[in-house]
Amino acid sequence: MFTSLRYPSAKQNWIWSQRRRNVKPSDLAEELNVSRPFISKEQRIAEQRIKKLIEHTAATNRITIHNISPHYGIATGYCSASQTNVYIIYSPQIGLQTWFAHKGECKGCSDYPKCEATLTTLAQEWDIDPPPDLAPTDLAILLFQTIMRRLKWHDKKDRGGK
């Protein structure tokens, strides 16, 4: 099913990131001294690779995808095994991340620093300025609800929206 999984190249990542921020292809072409069709092709390749990566991650984790946007590098879904909503997100800085929605006791968790760093990076990439001192589970709720509102996706709270 997934014969060739590749991350976008550094140039494709940069173009994809700029286009996600609505920078015009003509401006990117001028900055890189390339043609507009080159920018479009590199963006298209990046989005195809991101989509395959997200779909592979979902398949290997038995996640049913409900929404996917390769343009923004995010998918929402539901994991029956964990009985929870799941967010799969692509970031040029941190790669592919899978976040299982949960409410936990973050202060005693050994993964606290990793979760906090990941979510802080994602918030910066999405230009979301969260209040200080939020626990990672609360930051994740704020972050993913904000992203879903921006994309006009509805939160599926009941068994994955079924």
Please tell me what DSSP assigns to residue 158: S
Average pLDDT over residues 76-103: 93
For residue 116, which amino acid is it?
E
Q: Tell me, what's the pLDDT at 40?
A: 96
What are the tens digits of pLDDT across the range 100-155?
A: 998 878 888 898 899 999 999 999 999 999 998 888 999 999 999 999 999 999 75
What are the tens digits of pLDDT across the range 10-34?
A: 999 999 999 999 999 999 999 999 9
User: Distance of CA 60 to CAs 15, 57, 70, 85, 124, Å?
Assistant: 28, 5, 18, 16, 28
Q: Tell me, what's the pLDDT at 4?
A: 81
Domain ranges of the chain: 10-161
Confidence of residue 160 (pLDDT cuts 50, 70, 90): very low
The C-alpha atoms of residue 14 and residue 56 are separated, in whole angstroms, by 23
3 state SS of 137: helix
For residue 95, which amino acid is it?
G
